[in-house]
């Protein structure tokens, strides 16, 4: 248990999504935590017993955007409803407790409010306190819930900012601090890729593990989302469903192109989309990640009077970002498996609306990785150009 706490504490810090000194894990079986007992120990362990969960993670997010979303929300609201794919699949919505509903209140009142939301949700926000995330069975599940909340609130805040403008007196200062202190352009000069076609199964799996790790470490995917595959002309070697891209050792399956294998049942849910790409093109490497600004801009739409109520699934507008097609569709054979392959045929990259980037390489992953990175670079720059334009201010110096 202690090793698992140490592992996921490291990931929270590595990904820069939690304030290091605020990270606390509570486990219903093992009394050990990642730090000494604190004032919230009895409250959170009692909650775990009450809701019949294994693990609870409490930490303060490294960025203020979740709190700003709560401030911007309607006074009667108690839930955020991001519309990206991660929220829809994993969270549904994000409940929150306002600061005046917990600060200065009794522990019993706070306990009851937390309990109310954790009966049907994996995580909740407490304004100016932090994120409470839970795991039904494992510490990993609590980490995933925290990471997902961080990602989805980031996406929602920046999308709301672009569509609604600044509403709070200190928001512009928060954005400037974010750009100078947190936002980084990933350095890609230290990466190495296997060149040319690969046919050896072990070599292919080793490359999948390495590129999957790059994708996480450079910030192109959060939590355990994203997937990767390689087609050797006979078999599709693909990450398993619910696997973490930075831990793909023993998490890769090899599936015959015609799916005549039980291994296809454990493959990523995006397997049909990957197969569709290989079936209609000469690409042999496919990478799927969720870079934040690509997701944000894919959801930014200025059309008025549109009657579509679920754009990520049903939008039929022809759109592109820097000549990269933006397409709609849900995971599965009747969604992205139909819309991604024709969109990716030409330039080898497309953006699934509210979901992320699919990119492909002719023989290896360097081409696919660089396409994803260049697309996200462009979307990040374009986002701040649009924001500056909206705010009618002199554009700040762009990040290179």
Q: Is residue 300 part of a domain?
A: yes
Structural domain includes residue 140:
yes
Same domain, 229 and 150: no
If we measure between CA atoms, which residue out of 396, 380, 378 comes closest to residue 388? 396
Residue 34 within a domain: yes
Helix (H) or strand (E) holding 364: none
- Does the structure show a pLDDT above 50 at 399? no
Q: What is the pLDDT of residue 307?
A: 66
Confidence category of residue 34, pLDDT binned at 50, 70, 90: very low
The pLDDT confidence band at residue 370, using thresholds 50, 70 and 90, is very high
Domain residue limits at 7: 2-154
Domain membership of residue 196 (yes or no) is no
pLDDT at 30: 63
Both 218 and 359 in one domain: the answer is: yes
Domain boundary among 121, 154, 187: 154
With 60 as the cut, is the pLDDT of residue 356 above it? yes
Q: Could you tell me if 94 and 152 are in contact, meaning their C-beta atoms sit under 8 angstroms apart?
A: yes
Among 167-171, 213-217, 313-317, 347-351, the least confident range: 313-317
Examine residue 81 and state whether it is found in any structural domain, yes or no.
yes
- Provide the domain count of the chain: 2
**High-pLDDT (> 70) share of the chain, %:** 94
Residue 112 belongs to a domain with what CATH number? 3.40.225.10
| One domain, residues 313 and 368 | yes
pLDDT at 398: 44
> What is the structure's pLDDT at 329?
86
Query: pLDDT tens across 305-325, in order?
Result: 676 777 777 787 889 999 999
**Interval 373-378 mean pLDDT:** 97
| Model pLDDT, residue 393 | 54
Does residue 51 have a pLDDT over 90? no
288 in a domain, yes or no?
A: yes
- Cα 37 from chain centroid (whole Å): 31
CB neighbour burial string for 242-260, b if at least 16 within 10 angstroms, e if fewer: ebbbbbbeebbbbbeeeee
What local confidence, expressed as pLDDT, does residue 400 receive?
38
Q: Are residues 251 and 386 in the same domain?
A: yes
Radius of gyration of the chain measured on its C-alpha atoms: 21
Instruction: Point out the domain boundary residue: 154, 188, 220.
Output: 154
């Amino acid at each position: 248990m202690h090793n698992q706490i140490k592992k996921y504490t490291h990931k929270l810090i590595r990904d820069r999504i939690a304030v290091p000194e605020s990270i606390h894990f509570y486990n219903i079986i093992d009394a050990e935590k990642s730090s000494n007992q604190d004032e919230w120990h009895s409250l959170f362990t009692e909650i775990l017993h009450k809701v019949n969960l294994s693990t609870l993670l409490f930490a303060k997010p490294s960025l203020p955007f979740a709190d700003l979303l709560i401030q911007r929300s309607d006074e009667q609201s108690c839930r955020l409803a991001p519309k990206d794919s991660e929220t829809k699949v994993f969270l549904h919505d994000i409940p929150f407790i306002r600061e005046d509903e917990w600060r200065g209140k009794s522990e019993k009142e706070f306990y009851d409010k937390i309990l109310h939301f954790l009966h049907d949700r994996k995580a909740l926000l407490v304004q100016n306190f932090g994120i409470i995330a839970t795991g039904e069975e494992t510490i990993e599940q609590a980490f995933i819930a925290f990471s997902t909340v961080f990602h989805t609130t980031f996406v929602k805040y920046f999308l709301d900012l672009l569509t609604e403008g600044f509403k709070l007196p200190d928001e512009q200062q928060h954005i400037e601090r974010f750009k100078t202190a947190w936002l980084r352009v990933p350095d890609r000069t230290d990466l190495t890729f296997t060149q040319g076609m690969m046919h050896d199964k072990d070599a292919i799996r080793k490359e999948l593990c390495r590129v999957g790790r790059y994708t996480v470490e450079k910030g192109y995917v959060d939590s355990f989302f994203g997937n990767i595959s390689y087609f050797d002309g006979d078999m599709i070697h693909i990450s398993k469903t619910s696997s973490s891209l930075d831990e793909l050792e023993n998490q890769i399956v090899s599936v015959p192109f015609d799916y005549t294998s039980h291994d296809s049942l454990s493959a990523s849910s995006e397997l049909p989309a990957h197969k569709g790409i290989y079936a209609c093109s000469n690409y042999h490497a496919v990478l799927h990640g969720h870079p934040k600004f690509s997701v944000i801009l894919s959801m930014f739409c200025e059309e008025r009077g549109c009657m579509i109520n679920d754009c990520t699934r049903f939008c039929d507008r022809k759109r592109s970002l820097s000549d990269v097609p933006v397409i709609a569709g849900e995971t599965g054979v009747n969604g992205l498996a139909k819309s991604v392959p024709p969109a990716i045929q030409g330039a080898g990259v497309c953006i699934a609306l509210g979901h992320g980037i699919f990119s492909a390489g002719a023989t290896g992953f360097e081409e696919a990785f660089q396409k994803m990175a260049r697309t996200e670079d462009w979307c990040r720059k374009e986002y701040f150009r649009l924001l500056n334009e909206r705010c009618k201010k002199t554009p700040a110096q762009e990040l290179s």
